[in-house]
Amino acid sequence: MRFPRGGAVVAVVAVAVVAVTAGCGGSGDGGADLTRVETAHVRLGFPKTWQRQDEGGRLSARKSVGGRTVAQVVVLERVVKASTADLAVNAAQAGRFLQPDYQRGKLTTVEIKGADDARKLTYTYTSTEGGARQPAGGTDVVALLDRDAHLVRITGLQGQLEQREVDAIVSSIELKEK
């Protein structure tokens, strides 16, 4: 099935992703429902119902329904050197423009413990994972420390990633001291 680039489908996806990814701090009790993990440079939490699946030297966790991945969080460390978080976001998003129906959303400043500068970007796209085309959305958090950009990418199929899950992950992100 092919989704049109314009019209109602894109509007529905945009509204759903904004609803899923709007805001940036979680509620104070969100941390209690998270599995805490850390890499060499990043600490964060993901919902306890998700499964950790490190791949290719990077930390990831996935939410599955019926044996199929419907949402995930991936940590990419030192993805680029940049003088500002805005430049790092642009570099991290370069490959996203190749995804079907990619639409860049809102870019906001976020406070990340241990970071010199950080931004959160929301976006929508059509997922082609597993051969099926489905509306999806994402939130990228890019945190900069001493010109090293660290990326936490949260993505999910439309209707499968809850606002509180995104908020909890985003509010749990910290950079470790050098």
What is the rounded average pLDDT of the residues 7-11? Answer: 32
In this structure, what DSSP letter does residue 158 have? Answer: T
Name which residue leads in pLDDT, 84 or 70.
Answer: 70
- Whether residue 89 is predicted with pLDDT greater than 70 in this model: the reply is yes
Q: In sequence order, what are the residues at sequence separation of 6 or more whose Cβ sits closer than 8 angstroms to the Cβ of residue 12? A: 135, 158
- Whether residue 106 is predicted with pLDDT greater than 70 in this model: the reply is yes
Find, among 163, 176, 38, 156, the residue nearest to 112 by Cα: 176
Tell me which of 20-29, 106-115, 129-138, 142-151 is least confident: 20-29
HSE-up of residue 41 (Cα within 13 Å, Cβ side):
19
Average pLDDT, the chain: 80
Q: In sequence order, what are the residues at sequence separation of 6 or more whose Cβ sits closer than 8 angstroms to the Cβ of residue 53? A: 60, 61, 62
Domain extent, residue 155, equals: 8-175
Cα separations (Å) of 62 from 53, 115, 126, 144?
A: 7, 25, 18, 25
Name the phi and psi angles at 168, rounded to 5: -65, -45
**Is 71 domain-assigned?**
yes
**Is 3 domain-assigned?**
no
For 148-168, what is each residue's pLDDT tens digit? 999 999 999 999 999 899 999
**Is 161 domain-assigned?**
yes
**Is 151 domain-assigned?**
yes
Q: What is the CATH number of the domain that holds 101?
A: 3.40.1000.10
pLDDT band at 96 (very low <50, low <70, confident <90, very high): low
**Is 81 domain-assigned?**
yes
Number of separate domains in the chain: 1
**Is 64 domain-assigned?**
yes
Do 52 and 61 meet the contact criterion of CB atoms below 8 Å apart?
Answer: yes
Q: Quote the pTM value.
A: 0.78
**Is 164 domain-assigned?**
yes
Name the phi and psi angles at 151, rounded to 5: -115, 130
**Is 1 domain-assigned?**
no
